[in-house]
Amino acid sequence: MPHEKHGRVLLVGAGPGAADLLTLRALRAIESADVILFDALVGDEIRTLFPATARAIEVGKRGHRASTSQDFINRLMVRFARTGAAVVRLKGGDPSIFGRAAEERAFVEAHGVEVEIIPGITTASAAAAQFGFSLTARQRARRVIFATGRTLDGAAETWRAAADPETTLCLYMGCADIDSIAARLIAAGLDGDTPALAALDVSRRNASLIRSTLARLPADLSGVNSGAPVFICIGAVAADASEQHLLEQREILLPAQGMSR
């Protein structure tokens, strides 16, 4: 039987990391939360915005590492909402891009609790803006594929689509599997000299860029700190990426404390 006293659950996109890239709607949701269940990639700059009165619980999910189970997260959202709490499930990037938003929404609604999804800036868009390249370009990149190593791992048709030289391939959570991903893309016909990049800590103050090629990228990433969030882009447009304006951007980034409540 449904409980009489219900709060609500907001699935909120925290964006790539910088507090000033939160949407106004996301910030208002955080400010009004009674409970915040946040991902491991939600950094300190955004955590400083959590209300002192809110109960904040990290429920991190990281590839190839110990993670909080999805079933536990689902049940935690429902449990707190049934006490009448305003629950924010705070996710890095956008909840609808590899954020399990559909699964979580279905579970919470099936238990009689209202759900709203608040989108966030996805890392691919933030990386393109920060490092001065476009995900699409006339005559060079006619389409974009968002994928993870696991979503790519399937039929040969999937690899052929990703290996199209007019496609920009955006890889989320792909660093640990980049050796096999690069090998399969080359086997599917993509030239090993295809431009590629890895953007680390996108939008954060310590953001950095590795410019490479498809064939060299696994070696270039071999020494990368596994704790840093890494976004990988493969395709012709990756050749346009540059750190030229990175220092200027760091100077104008708003500190978290500047976003008053």
Q: Are residues 97 and 73 in the same domain?
A: yes
Quick check: 152 pLDDT over 80? Answer: no
Q: Are residues 96 and 144 in the same domain?
A: no
pLDDT band at 256 (very low <50, low <70, confident <90, very high): very low
pLDDT band at 258 (very low <50, low <70, confident <90, very high): very low
| Residue 198 located in a structural domain | yes
Domain CATH code at residue 72: 3.40.1010.10
Q: Domain count for the chain, please give it.
A: 2
Nearest in space to 149 (alpha carbons), one of 198, 195, 185, 123: 185
pLDDT for 60: 80
| Residue 255 located in a structural domain | no
Q: What is the pLDDT of residues 95-145, one digit of tens each?
A: 999 999 999 999 999 999 999 999 999 999 999 999 999 999 998 999 999
C-alpha triplet 237, 218, 164: angle, nearest 5°: 40
**Mean pLDDT value of segment 190-219:** 96
Q: Are residues 24 and 87 in the same domain?
A: yes
Among 121, 151, 176, the domain boundary falls at 121
| Residue 241 located in a structural domain | yes
Among 93, 121, 149, the domain boundary falls at 121
User: By the 8 A CB rule, do 191 and 167 touch?
Assistant: no
User: Buried b / exposed e across 239-257, counting CB within 10 Å, b at 16+?
Assistant: ebbeeeeeeebeeebeebe
Q: Are residues 83 and 134 in the same domain?
A: no
Catalytic sites, residue numbers: 39, 61, 173
Among 92, 121, 150, the domain boundary falls at 121
What is the average pLDDT score of the chain? 89
Q: Are residues 135 and 242 in the same domain?
A: yes
Quick check: 67 pLDDT over 90? Answer: no
According to the per-residue pLDDT averaged within each range, which of 91-100, 149-158, 223-232 is highest?
91-100
| Residue 261 located in a structural domain | no
| Residue 86 located in a structural domain | yes
| Residue 108 located in a structural domain | yes
Residue range of the domain that includes 38: 8-121
Q: What distance in Å separates the CA atoms of residue 50 and residue 25, rounded to the nearest whole number?
A: 14
pLDDT for 218: 97
